A and B are shown apart, each in its own frame.
Chain A
Amino acid sequence: AAGVIQSPRHLIKEKRETATLKCYPIPRHDTVYWYQQGPGQDPQFLISFYEKMQSDKGSIPDRFSAQQFSDYHSELNMSSLELGDSALYFCASSSLLAGAGEQYFGPGTRLTVT
């Protein structure tokens, strides 16, 4: 069965650079979520999209933005990167119709800011 795809899997950037993370949800899933997991921390919710519209917003810095495209893939754009942005970024997708709201997580993108 198809799973959530995230790219790239690993990314190394320098401070003040920009990074773009991509997420491809499970086919027919209509909601995408982004989470950030710092070292030794639990995943923290950043932002979500339902049918290409932002549906919820968590502790996402103003330097970050995200969108969901017509093909339902989503991108998380991160600018003016800081050392503290180094983390594992997860994307998840769900569908109330197809999966009773269960969130399926991708493998994550490990971002290292140097």
Chain B
Amino acid sequence: KQEVTQIPAALSVPEGENLVLNCSFTDSAIYNLQWFRQDPGKGLTSLLLIQSSQREQTSGRLNASLDKSSGRSTLYIAASQPGDSATYLCAVNSGGYQKVTFGIGTKLQVIP
């Protein structure tokens, strides 16, 4: 059974800092991994998808890496802004048509 862990559970940083969010998973036989953003009480916004054959994906100030063998992914946010404040969820897909397993998320607060 796939288990996904995210560290830290919460993070508070001053505006402008670069930061790293961590995600680890127990079963390295994954199909892909997605990072989502969720604002309080709102839906899930997909940020980045990394296929199992890829090492990283970039979108704007976001960079996600994947090390399948060690069961880890990181989300790097450059030059953080107050608008980045949200909960970031990591989700692992263990098969093409299978459910994704979510981590509990990292709640990020960027202080102006």
Interface residues of chain A, those whose CB is within 8 Å of chain B, are 31, 33, 35, 41-45, 48, 50, 55-56, 58, 88, 90, 92, 94, 96, 100-108, 110
Cβ contacts under 8 Å, B44 to chain A: 43, 90, 105, 108
Assess the A103–B100 pair: CB atoms within 8 A.
yes
Partner of A45, one of B31, B43, B101, B105: B101
Interface residues of chain B, those whose CB is within 8 Å of chain A, are 31-32, 34, 36, 41-44, 46, 49, 51, 89, 91, 93, 96-105
Assess the A33–B99 pair: CB atoms within 8 A.
yes
Cβ contacts under 8 Å, B104 to chain A: 41-42
Cβ contacts under 8 Å, B34 to chain A: 102-103
Assess the B51–A100 pair: CB atoms within 8 A.
yes
Assess the B46–A102 pair: CB atoms within 8 A.
yes
A96 and B97 alpha carbons, distance in the complex (Å): 7
What secondary structure prevails in chain A residues at the interface with B? Answer: strand
Given A43-B44, A56-B97, A101-B32; 6 other pairs, CB 8 A cutoff: A43-B89, A56-B98, A88-B43, A101-B96, A102-B34, A107-B42
Instruction: Known contacts A43-B44, A107-B43; decide if A31 and B99 are in contact (CB<8 Å).
Output: no
A41 and B89 alpha carbons, distance in the complex (Å): 11
Assess the B102–A43 pair: CB atoms within 8 A.
yes
Assess the B97–A31 pair: CB atoms within 8 A.
yes
